[in-house]
Amino acid sequence: MPASPPTDPAALFEAARGGNQAALARLLSLVERGGPLSRAVAGLAYTTPGDAYTVGVTGAPGAGKSTLTDRLVTLARRVGLDGGDRVAVLAVDPSSPYSGGAILGDRVRMPSHALDNGVYIRSMATRGHLGGLAVAVPDAVRVLSSVGMPVVLVETVGVGQQEVEVAAATDTTIVVVNPGWGDAIQANKAGLLEIADVFVINKADRPGARETRRDLELMLDLTELGPWRPPIVETVASTGDGVEELWATVRQHRDHQIAHGSLAVQRRRRMEREFRQILLARLSEQVDQVLNAGGVDDISQAMLDGEVDPYVAADRVLDRVLPPGPVPPVDSPD
C-alpha cells in the first residue's frame, strides 16, 4: 500500500511532482469540489504553471472521442510532441454518473493504459465549483501542467455553450464528426466549427465520409480564417487507422502556432476570458449573498411597490455590491 497522501496543498503538489498519483488525484478532487482549499490549489498551480501542451477532443456523444483519445494517448506516449512523453487525460462529462471516483471507470474504458504509470486518466464533474466547468477545467489542467505533465488531452462533449467554451480552451482543438448527411452541419450549429483547429471524420469505415468532408470544406470556404486552415483527417478510431496522421497534424498545428507567435497570444486571450469568468462568478456570488442576507430588502420592496422599476432597483443594488470606486468606466472606447 502506498502511503496515504498529505492534506496540505503545498505538500500535495510536492508529492504529485514526485509521481505520487494519489496526491495528484486529491489535488484534482479539491479543484473539483470548489471552496477555499480549491482556491489554494488553483493559486499554487497558477504560480508554478509548468509547460503542458493541451489538446482538446470534442464532438457529439458517441462520435468516438474516447476511443480516439485512447489512441492518441498511445501516440503521445510513443512519439509525444518532441519525443515520447507522459500524458494526462481529463474527461469532462457533466452527464457522467460518477464524479471524483471516476478514475476506475475511465481506466476500465481505457484498459490499454491501465498499467502504464506514464498515463494519468481522470474524469471530472464540477458540482459546487463556483464558475462551473469554465473555471474548474482550466484549474484542473493547470494542476496537471504544474505537476509536470507535458501533454494534457481534454475530452469534452461538444454540446451546449459552456461545454463548447471549455472545449475551445486548449492549444489544439480537435473536433470529431462522423460520416453521414448533416453531421458536419450539426457540428456547425453547435458552434464547433469556429473552435476547430483540426477536424476529424471518425468512423470513416462507414459510408458518407466524402460528403462530410465536402460539407466541412464548404463551410470552411465560407468562414473567415486566419493563416491556419483546419485540416480534415479521416480516422477509424476502433482500428487505429488515420490516428498517426491525426497526431502528426496536431504537431503541425503546434509548430505553426509557435512559428507564428500565436501560441502565447492565444494563451493570453484565454486567460483573459477565464479571468472574466472568475469575475462573473464572484459577482454572482456576491449578489446572492446580498440578496440572501436581506441587505437590499428596502430596494426590492420599493420595486415590488412599484416605486422604482427593476432596472433602477438593480442599479441601486449594484451600487451596494460594487461601491463606485476608482474603477474606470466600462464604456470607455477601446
Ligand X SMILES: Nc1nc2c(ncn2[C@@H]2O[C@H](COP(=O)(O)OP(=O)(O)O)[C@@H](O)[C@H]2O)c(=O)[nH]1
- In the complex, residue closest to Mg ion by CB: 66
Helix (H) or strand (E) holding 185: helix 183-189
Q: Which of 38, 58, 66, 145 binds Mg ion (CB under 5 A)?
A: 66
Q: Which of 18, 35, 61, 101 binds ligand X (CB under 6 A)?
A: 61
Q: Which of 238, 284, 286, 301 binds ligand X (CB under 6 A)?
A: 238
- Which residues, other chains included, contact 252 with Cβ-Cβ below 8 Å and sequence gap of 6+? 231
Q: Which is nearer to ligand X, 43 or 61 (CB)?
A: 61
Q: Is 121 in the site for ligand X (CB under 6 A)?
A: no
Q: Which of 31, 37, 63, 140 binds ligand X (CB under 6 A)?
A: 63
Question: What does each C-alpha distance from 91 to 36, 140, 166 come to in angstroms?
Answer: 24, 11, 12
Contact mark string toward ligand X, 189..218, x via CB under 6 A: -------------xx-xx------------
From 42-50, 55-63, 268-276, 301-309, span contacting ligand X (CB under 6 A): 55-63
Q: Is 58 in the site for Mg ion (CB under 5 A)?
A: no
Q: Is 71 in the site for ligand X (CB under 6 A)?
A: no
Q: How far is the CB of 215 from Mg ion (least distance, A)?
A: 23
Inter-axis angle of helices 36-47 and 133-146, nearest 10: 50
Q: Which of 26, 65, 113, 213 binds ligand X (CB under 6 A)?
A: 65
Task: Map residue 238 onto helix, strand or coil.
Answer: coil
Q: Which of 236, 243, 299, 313 binds ligand X (CB under 6 A)?
A: 236
Cα angle 255, 259, 265; round to 5: 100
Q: Which three cell numbers stand for residue 53?
A: 501542451
Task: Map residue 309 onto helix, strand or coil.
Answer: coil
Q: For residue 188, how far is the Cα from the chain centroid?
A: 19
Task: Map residue 302 onto helix, strand or coil.
Answer: helix
Q: Work out the widest C-alpha separation in the chain, in whole angstroms.
A: 69
Q: Contact residues for ligand X (CB under 6 A)?
A: 59, 61-67, 202-203, 205-206, 236-238
